[in-house]
Structure 1
Amino acid sequence: MRVPVSWLTEYTDLPEGTTGRELAEKLIGLGLEVETVDRVGADITGPIVVGRVLDVEELTGFKKPIRYCRVDVGTANGSGEPQNIVCGARNFSEGDLVVAALPGAELPGGFAISARKTYGKVSEGMICSASELNLWEDHTGIIVLPAGGAEPGDDAYGLLGLREDVLDIAVTPDRGYALSIRGVAREAATAYGTPFRDPADVQAAGAPGKGYPASVADPAICSRYVLHGVTGFDPEAPTPMWMKHRLALAGVRSISLAVDVTNYVMLEVGQPLHAWDRATLSGPIEVRLARSGEKLETLDHVTRALDPDDILITDESGPINLAGVMGGATTEIGLSSTDVLVEAAHFAETHIARASRRHQLSSESSRRFERGVDSALQPAAATRAVRLLAELGGGTIDEGYTHIADEAAVEPRPIVIAADRPDRVAGVAYGRGRVVAALERVGCTVEQEAGGEAELRVTPPTWRPDLTDPNDLAEEVIRIEGYDGIPSIPPRAPAGRGLTPSQRLRRSVGRRLAATGFAEVLSYPFMGERDLDGLQIDAEDHRRSALRLSNPLSEDEPLLRTTLLPGMLKTLVRNVGRGFHDVALYEIGLVYSPRPGAPERAPMLAVDRGPAPDEQESLARALPEQPRRVGAVLAGDREPATWQRSGSPTTWADAVEAARETARSANAELIVRAARYAPWHPGRCAALYVRVEGEERLVGHAGELHPRAVAAYGLPERTCAMEVDLDTVEAAGGPASAPAVSGYPVALQDVALVVGDGVPAAEIEEALRTGAGELLEDVRLFDVYTGEQVGEGRRSLAYTLRFRAPDRTLAAEEIAQAREAAVAAAAERTGAVLRG
């Protein structure tokens, strides 16, 4: 909501000299989100004055009509002599008052005004249009001022409002009243303690019940409905400059007087209005819900299929308005409309919000209705509109108006609140008197509850439909008293408490991966079927069984993720597209798997009480399993190239090593075996296992992605990834302990074992560790050989075995015995043969 400060000051008196920024600080202190303060006209400088056109000479011989004018600017030019100005506009005559920019002035865009020769004449300034001064959008000609309002030489800055502070306020869903000058002026009056003059404090014109015939099918969809009309309206009457300027400052384009008046009143008091050409209406109006199969062509000339949840305004011809959202094309106000009918209504907020989203139509009206408008405002808003139409368009106000209301539905409901509730919420002793005073400042009626002084009976004002429970009232007291009055008291952590083991593990994993070059990302926990298709996941894969959201943020991602990979791969693509070709990302997050036998839809619980035991049980069955995963994706060079060395490209081994780092954080040992699993390349995929209570459990996979998955996501070639179940890794781990450091020498032994191509190196390493016994300190694979010397279909794996005892220097016999035992275990488990 854009709020011109000059418009605001019509309804409350700000202290003299108050700037827009000072006002913004006050409003921010009350909880309004003032995003910016725009200094409109700050780029206009120099003499901009009122001038009277004395003579007009028509210049000929040019491609377009040119006029050479003598303009009286009083003494503003220092000489008192008329200015000679060349102008191409045709919408003014001799004797008209215009706006003249004299030499030395500068207009928006850095356009400097000087005396210069053009069209064979010397032009000593410029006669200005509204567009050239950034007042409003107008390409019909220059500004012609009304007679009697100013004299030649008068300063035009104040007359036209060329300099203006405009507040740009981001209105939150619970502050619908702030989508109006009226609402913001009331907040400003509260902030400065000044009187508030309500623009809606007007007496209705005419008698109720004698207006255009109308009916409301259900008060639940429209609790108040008002129609008021004007006859004999001049459709060609111009919108006055002051109204055009205010609309432009508020960000609304001027269209015609009838439309401008409805927009002006909406901005002023916050009540959306709609104006019809009464001649296009057919019979009585009815407010009702749409029927199946009905359609409506809206003002944007789109024919829309209506939903039974849509509120419609209809006549005998059918739907004429999508209520609260947009009018219909058949009853649109035009340049021949002489009889105008104005509608003001209080529609159900939820219906309007759903209709706006369903039809993808967000209008100024729907924004206000879905946040809640003043339920008592409709007669005053309609009266304000018809009076402006009659005053500015020369019409006659109808003697009567239509007013349909369900008073029980629109009457605010009292709220009982403990007098010390705000004190307990804020931790500040306000006291009963300050609580009552604060609530009355926001328009509430406060009475003592029958139970005694400990409780208050508070009736919110009609313009605050967001005040529905004691917590809302406590918040009002706190913001009126000032959030800066709440002391900052750091909480004290109870002794003996800290991070849980799981939290410590997550931090440890994050530190390890970050230390090895990975950057953490946080992805939305949503995905779509296309994401799983891109990963080449089969229809029978358990990852296809995903929970569907009833209200997804995007129709392309309606599912809760069952794997971390889609979000991470999209992030990787985004980074590569922005020029970062060497990328290593990791994420720690939850995935969601439906429980066996879970209901298709989660139950909707009541909000006015706690869930019953059977409801808790039903909810527990509907909640998915939520294991925590660690994922990583890599592309490009793991070590970038420098002048000293060539780059080291990312390989499947880097993804496996990221999984190993995750397991090391939990003090668990990872077992790696070759596997085939989408979306990894079948020849470069590793299955990852850990031992939990002596049993091997699959915890994830790592390796290079399949080329088809790479192509589907638009990834760099040979992108690698890993995903590991952190909960299972944690269960396999144990408390970390510092390694024992022996002061005795190490003994190194090399063994080369010949095995078949299909025997995993990890399995041989495990056999060597088991056979060597406690004296073995480490095993490292340092060479792999294939060739004629070992035979076809076989390969030689060479390992270095490190032996050391904690309490003695090992004898040669002990070392040899341990080496032989290790080789024997490898031979027994894998069929390995010691290479000669």
Structure 2
Amino acid sequence: MPRIPLTWLAEHVETPADLTAETLAEALVRVGLEEEAVHPAAVTGPLVVGRVVERVPEPQKNGKTINWCQVDVGDHNGTAEDGTRTPRGIVCGAQNFEVGDHVVVALPGTVLPGPFAIASRKTYGHVSDGMICSSRELGLGDDHDGIIVLAQIGIDAAPGTDARALLGLGEEVLEINVTPDRGYCFAMRGVAREYAHATGAVFTDRGLPRAGADEGLATSGGFPVELRDDAPIHGVPGADRFVARVVRGIDASAPSPSWMQQRLTQAGMRPISLAVDVTNYVMLDLGQPLHAYDLATLQGPVVVRRARAGERLTTLDGVDRALDAEDLLITDGPDAGRVLGLAGVMGGAETEVSATTTDVLVEAAHFDPVTVARTARRHKLPSEAAKRFERGVDPQLPRVAAARVVELLVEHGGGTPDPVLTDVDATTPPPVLRLPVALPSRLIGLDLDVATISGYLRQIGCTVGEVAGSGADAVVAVTVPTWRPDLTEPVTLVEEVARLHGYDAIPSVVPASPVGLGLTPSQRRRRRVADALVGAGWVETWSYPFVSTAQLDALALPADDARRRMLRLANPLSEEQPYLRSSLLVTVLDTARRNIGRGVGDLALFEVSAVTQPGPALAPAPVPPVAARPSEDVLDAIRAAVPHQPRQVAGVLTGLREPAGWWGSGRVADHADAVDAVRLLGEILGVDLRVEADSERMPWHPGRCARFTTADGALVGYAGELHPKVVTALGLPARACAFEVDLDVLLTAAPRGEVVAREVSTFPVAKEDVALVVPSDVAAADVLDAVRTGAAGSPAGDVLESARLFDVYTGEQVGEGRQSLAFALRLRAPDRTLTAEETAAVRASVVAEAERRFGATLRA
């Protein structure tokens, strides 16, 4: 985010003398620039100018020589017994100063960047009453070899003068948050313009051509430059302007001026060298990224083109990069075969300016935002230049910015600029938008006249024509400024009108809520599902839908499993998880694993979300127009391009299901808890679920997995204990359990319409227990179904209120290969008390039905 030093801002716009970072933030937020942070003064306390009165070198036993100095600090000097002012004694290890030099002194009570508090302390046999400071100690640069001698950086001040003001170290800096459509605010020029909008202050546009800057220069015969983008990636050339200026005979080793280093540091950039600092400074000042080449390393012409197969580049950060065909490059040499840099992103190491450079070529160009953005992301190079180009840079800035760089290089590094200018200009005029006069009032909700609207648009730099037409058909032609590439539609002009008029002046009107609308029946059922699980002690979570094939491998899914067919994202957030999940359990297990890794072992987590199940190859979705509602054919094509996305419910259980305490040791969760969760979902939705064992469904244990279907055979899902291999692969506690249910199937099977409650019978319940002996391979759920069917078909009528399995027995009493299943029946009639004969008839009917289906016998 850009940082705004107040004194730097004041060079572009009039600011009051008492302006603070807080008041600046208040002004900017009114025009949509939010405060990110206020950075306090880099140095606090008494930092003053001192004059070295005496310097006594003192060699030490370790081979080092320190200087015992007497420093005159003006009004901050000490007082002798006779009342005279005495210099301060300070120990200094630097050797680059002499008696009489004016230096920067941090007196006791000063706090330097770090923070590093200065106090009087004994060292090397002396009491050092302060510190003589270097650039790095003040946060002005990396130079720590010697102290700052003020005369060498052009500062002349009397002893005792406040050095914080001289060096800008007592200034607050405001950091702001810039939205992607306001790229011009990454420069002092843009922020100053917005401050003028907010306060009415006088703004001076330093991005306009200045008289004398490059007047009279020949525009032919300069360093040759060619724009050869033969493969624009979206119909727009990668570069449409390239300005080049040559400066010869500079001293590249000369330091950049202290005021420039100070401002770069305040803006969050590290001073490096004169050429780099100058280009960075102008970029931060005007918003135009620039680059300086060592002219001796170049072979004309410079050619801007797309990358070729197999090309590589070592960028300034020392990384060797394989180039992509979409990368826009700066090249030179025969057939433009040598790559100099990634256009708009970063230059190459081969042509960078060094300490031995004497002649430089200054580049100021305009590159396509989409091209730069894709290159920066492809190579993971979010450079300061790329941040600006991808948001849109003023195409009229290159010539102005290049002229400013040349002036600064000549002023601080010597040298002479060539009397010729290279300016390859293929830019197009800014767009002219036809703004309906009634549109701002209709969208904003305020009655704004044409004069008010035109005034706001002119403030942001637009050229507003005369009104054409009348009444509801009246329109006005608006030419947008070159520094606002985000203004592409009439509605974007309306946004500017609203912003300058003031969001606080736009009334908040709550729209009327239509009567009778609410949650759909499907939404209510989904909420009932979540509420039921929460009521049963489960915790609802959400997870990201992005997964990798490694996560499916951890679940030991077979190679031909349908869940391995996933949709890959064209632009994933992470290349490590480029697919959309086809199974909700995958990400829920990941949530459980993350919680366990953070020390939470007793879990009952669930999630209700959609999954993506790609079918046959899908045609790409058409892009509908913005200005009008898409046709039904377009909408149908969009729907056809969307893969099937059913909703699922999945949950994971680990650790204790019932907590331990004084009441007992608790109970460990097991597969029955997962099965009960699915049964609960069926019960809450009114769906009769069929349960059977399943031994082949990964990631569940082959002997502890239940398969759920509806009455008509539709698969609902699975529940049970996870396979030990899966538990080990995911690092879960032993015997972890899980369930996964297709919620759409459940909702389809749920009864529609209103639920009619049965009248509660006031007659007593009759209890009957039935123990049936059946073969061991018969599922208890199938026998329970026979019990219910038999009871419903008894002579007593439909009097079965509930039936549940309460005991399973195998042993000698029932014989080998057989099992006893005991069911508790609760019988009640709505209109009478059941007789003993009627309950016996129900019991007999149940036994008969079980015998007919499974050869069951009644256990004695």
**Which TM bucket (shorter chain)?**
over 0.9
Q: Does 1:208 align with 2:225?
A: no
Tell me the equivalent position of 1:114. 119
Tell me the equivalent position of 1:680. 700
The 8 Å contact of residues 847 and 858 in structure 2, kept in 1 or not, is answered as: yes
Tell me the equivalent position of 2:82. none
Once the two structures are superposed, residues 435-455 of structure 1 have per-residue CA deviations (whole angstroms, 9 ceiling, x without a partner) of: 222211211111124334721
Q: How does 1:649-664 map to 2 (within 5 A)?
A: 649-664=668-683
Q: Which moves more between the two structures, 563-572 or 781-790?
A: 781-790
Q: Does 1:621 align with 2:640?
A: yes
Tell me the equivalent position of 1:749. 768
Name the SS for the 2:246 alignment partner.
Answer: strand
Q: Does 1:326 align with 2:327?
A: no
Q: Does 1:276 align with 2:293?
A: yes
Tell me the equivalent position of 1:142. 147
Q: Residue 668 of structure 1: which of 679, 687, 690 is its match?
A: 687
Q: Does 1:802 align with 2:847?
A: no
The 8 Å contact of residues 290 and 308 in structure 1, kept in 2 or not, is answered as: yes
Q: How does 1:5-16 map to 2 (within 5 A)?
A: 5-16=6-17
Partners in 2 of 1:367 and 1:114 — Cα distance?
Answer: 43
Deviation at 1:28, TM superposition (A): 2.2
Partners in 2 of 1:576 and 1:238 — Cα distance?
Answer: 56
Partners in 1 of 2:504 and 2:569 — Cα distance?
Answer: 40
Q: How does 1:561-576 map to 2 (within 5 A)?
A: 561-576=581-596
Q: Structure 1's 612 and 810: CA in aligned 2 closer, same or farther, altered over 3 A?
A: closer
Once the two structures are superposed, residues 69-89 of structure 1 have per-residue CA deviations (whole angstroms, 9 ceiling, x without a partner) of: 111111223643211111111
Q: Structure 1: which 5+ residue stretches go unaligned? A: none
Once the two structures are superposed, residues 263-297 of structure 1 have per-residue CA deviations (whole angstroms, 9 ceiling, x without a partner) of: 11111111110000101111221111222222222
Tell me the equivalent position of 1:415. 433
Name the SS for the 1:823 alignment partner.
Answer: helix
Name the SS for the 2:405 alignment partner.
Answer: helix
Q: Residue 300 of structure 1: which of 317, 321, 335 is its match?
A: 317
Once the two structures are superposed, residues 701-736 of structure 1 have per-residue CA deviations (whole angstroms, 9 ceiling, x without a partner) of: 111122222233332222221111212211211243
Q: Structure 1's 109 and 616: CA in aligned 2 closer, same or farther, altered over 3 A?
A: closer
Q: Does 1:813 align with 2:837?
A: yes
Q: Structure 1's 331 and 457: CA in aligned 2 closer, same or farther, altered over 3 A?
A: same
The 8 Å contact of residues 547 and 593 in structure 1, kept in 2 or not, is answered as: yes
Name the SS for the 1:286 alignment partner.
Answer: strand
Once the two structures are superposed, residues 566-615 of structure 1 have per-residue CA deviations (whole angstroms, 9 ceiling, x without a partner) of: 1111111111111111112211111222334x436555566676656665
Partners in 1 of 2:53 and 2:644 — Cα distance?
Answer: 85
Tell me the equivalent position of 1:530. 550
Partners in 1 of 2:666 and 2:200 — Cα distance?
Answer: 69
Q: Structure 1's 255 and 464: CA in aligned 2 closer, same or farther, altered over 3 A?
A: same
The 8 Å contact of residues 667 and 736 in structure 1, kept in 2 or not, is answered as: no
Q: How does 1:727-806 map to 2 (within 5 A)?
A: 727-734=744-751, 735-773=754-792, 774-806=798-830
Q: What code does the residue aligned with 2:697 have? A: Y
Q: Residue 430 of structure 1: which of 435, 448, 453 is its match?
A: 448
Q: Does 1:4 align with 2:5?
A: yes
Partners in 2 of 1:290 and 1:45 — Cα distance?
Answer: 51
Q: Structure 1's 738 and 71: CA in aligned 2 closer, same or farther, altered over 3 A?
A: same
Q: Which moves more between the two structures, 245-254 or 780-789?
A: 780-789
Once the two structures are superposed, residues 25-51 of structure 1 have per-residue CA deviations (whole angstroms, 9 ceiling, x without a partner) of: 32223222322122133xx44322100
Deviation at 1:7, TM superposition (A): 1.5
Q: Does 1:30 align with 2:50?
A: no
Q: Structure 1's 804 and 305: CA in aligned 2 closer, same or farther, altered over 3 A?
A: same
Name the SS for the 2:71 alignment partner.
Answer: strand
Q: Structure 1's 115 and 40: CA in aligned 2 closer, same or farther, altered over 3 A?
A: closer
Q: Residue 186 of structure 1: which of 183, 193, 200 is its match?
A: 193
Deviation at 1:811, TM superposition (A): 1.0
Q: Does 1:357 align with 2:387?
A: no
The 8 Å contact of residues 228 and 401 in structure 1, kept in 2 or not, is answered as: yes
Partners in 2 of 1:737 and 1:386 — Cα distance?
Answer: 86
Tell me the equivalent position of 2:846. 822
Q: Structure 1's 15 and 758: CA in aligned 2 closer, same or farther, altered over 3 A?
A: farther
Name the SS for the 2:74 alignment partner.
Answer: coil
Deviation at 1:823, TM superposition (A): 2.1
Q: Structure 1's 619 and 351: CA in aligned 2 closer, same or farther, altered over 3 A?
A: same
Partners in 1 of 2:624 and 2:511 — Cα distance?
Answer: 33
Partners in 2 of 1:143 and 1:796 — Cα distance?
Answer: 96
Q: Residue 88 of structure 1: which of 93, 99, 117 is its match?
A: 93
Tell me the equivalent position of 2:513. 493
Q: Structure 1's 354 and 103: CA in aligned 2 closer, same or farther, altered over 3 A?
A: closer
Deviation at 1:311, TM superposition (A): 1.1
Q: Structure 2: which 5+ residue stretches go unaligned? A: 80-84, 230-235, 793-797
Q: Residue 246 of structure 1: which of 231, 251, 263 is its match?
A: 263
Partners in 2 of 1:425 and 1:663 — Cα distance?
Answer: 49
Partners in 2 of 1:249 and 1:517 — Cα distance?
Answer: 54
Q: What code does the residue aligned with 1:285 have? A: V
Q: How does 1:582-731 map to 2 (within 5 A)?
A: 582-596=602-616, 598-599=617-618, 601-603=620-622, 615-675=634-694, 676-691=696-711, 695-731=712-748
TM-score (norm. length: structure 1): 0.95
Q: Structure 1's 168 and 828: CA in aligned 2 closer, same or farther, altered over 3 A?
A: farther
Tell me the equivalent position of 2:232. none
Number of aligned residue pairs? 828
The 8 Å contact of residues 344 and 381 in structure 1, kept in 2 or not, is answered as: yes
Deviation at 1:222, TM superposition (A): 1.1
Tell me the equivalent position of 1:68. 68
The 8 Å contact of residues 549 and 558 in structure 1, kept in 2 or not, is answered as: yes
Q: What code does the residue aligned with 2:802 have? A: D
Partners in 2 of 1:37 and 1:830 — Cα distance?
Answer: 80
Q: What code does the residue aligned with 1:184 have? A: V
Deviation at 1:560, TM superposition (A): 2.3
Partners in 2 of 1:37 and 1:102 — Cα distance?
Answer: 26
Deviation at 1:739, TM superposition (A): 4.3
TM-score (norm. length: structure 2): 0.93
Name the SS for the 1:492 alignment partner.
Answer: coil
Tell me the equivalent position of 2:404. 384
Q: Does 1:231 align with 2:248?
A: yes
Q: Does 1:160 align with 2:184?
A: no
Tell me the equivalent position of 2:132. 127
Tell me the equivalent position of 1:260. 277
Name the SS for the 2:375 alignment partner.
Answer: helix
Name the SS for the 1:475 alignment partner.
Answer: helix
Q: Which moves more between the two structures, 765-774 or 343-352?
A: 765-774
Q: Structure 1's 711 and 468: CA in aligned 2 closer, same or farther, altered over 3 A?
A: same
Deviation at 1:616, TM superposition (A): 4.6
Tell me the equivalent position of 1:18. 19
Tell me the equivalent position of 2:795. none
Partners in 2 of 1:392 and 1:75 — Cα distance?
Answer: 34
Tell me the equivalent position of 2:574. 554
Tell me the equivalent position of 1:177. 184
Partners in 2 of 1:605 and 1:405 — Cα distance?
Answer: 34
The 8 Å contact of residues 753 and 798 in structure 1, kept in 2 or not, is answered as: yes
Deviation at 1:557, TM superposition (A): 2.3
Once the two structures are superposed, residues 450-493 of structure 1 have per-residue CA deviations (whole angstroms, 9 ceiling, x without a partner) of: 33472121111111111100121111111112222232222332
Q: Structure 1's 355 and 113: CA in aligned 2 closer, same or farther, altered over 3 A?
A: closer
Name the SS for the 2:390 alignment partner.
Answer: helix
Partners in 2 of 1:638 and 1:295 — Cα distance?
Answer: 59
Name the SS for the 2:531 alignment partner.
Answer: helix
What's the % identity of the aligned pairs?
Answer: 52
Q: Structure 1's 276 and 660: CA in aligned 2 closer, same or farther, altered over 3 A?
A: same
Q: Structure 1's 490 and 615: CA in aligned 2 closer, same or farther, altered over 3 A?
A: closer
Partners in 2 of 1:487 and 1:737 — Cα distance?
Answer: 48
Tell me the equivalent position of 1:832. 856
Q: What code does the residue aligned with 2:431 have? A: R
